[in-house]
Amino acid sequence: MSGSIVLALRLVTTFALYGFLGWALFLLWREVRNQGTLLANRRVPGISLTVRNGTASPILKHFAQPEIIIGRDPGCDIPIPDDTVSTRHAQLTYHHGQWWLEDLGSMNGTILNEIALSMPTVITSGDEFVCGSTKISIALSPNVMIEPTQRLDKKNDR
């Protein structure tokens, strides 16, 4: 009798051990899922770029993605048919709640507000930068914002 009771307890003990592990795995899975949802729900504030190249008429472009690559390559987000622009010249990225401009090791460099860019730099509305002989001016539209991280966490926890 004692043996059967203790055997049942032993099985429940194993269940508890694996309950711990299973629960940990479940929470880890949920963390991955939440992280994914979080990133998927992240809204990037729109950015408008005006590209002026020599005498040609300026082109206005709108973006709602977190990464914009500028270069001579036709696959770039902003392709510029200008020999003074490198294949992949510079990129604009959105992280830490800011838009950043970064030179991708271009031949002629990127100049932001008349200063040569040496490290990723935060940009704001009205800034202007030059790739080769192409001038690009920036306009941010602050009305579209990302959802705050905290609130999403709490919502998923319930």
- Chain residues that interact with another protein, rule: CB under 8 A: 1-7, 9-10, 12-14, 16-21, 23-24, 27-28, 96, 153-154, 157
Which residue number, 2 or 55, has a Cβ lying nearer to another protein? 2
Least distance from C-beta 151 to another protein, angstroms?
A: 12
Least distance from C-beta 29 to another protein, angstroms?
A: 12
Which residue number, 14 or 125, has a Cβ lying nearer to another protein? 14
Beta strands in 64-108 (DSSP E): 67-71, 78-79, 90-95, 98-103
| Cα 4 to chain centroid, rounded | 59
Which residue number, 141 or 156, has a Cβ lying nearer to another protein? 156
SS3 state at 108:
coil
Contacts of 53 by beta carbon, 8 Å cutoff, 6+ apart: 80, 82, 133, 134, 135
Least distance from C-beta 145 to another protein, angstroms?
A: 19
Least distance from C-beta 21 to another protein, angstroms?
A: 5
Return the residue matching tokens 């203790």. Answer: 6
Which residue number, 83 or 147, has a Cβ lying nearer to another protein? 147
Please give the Cα distance from 46 to 73 (Å, whole number). 23
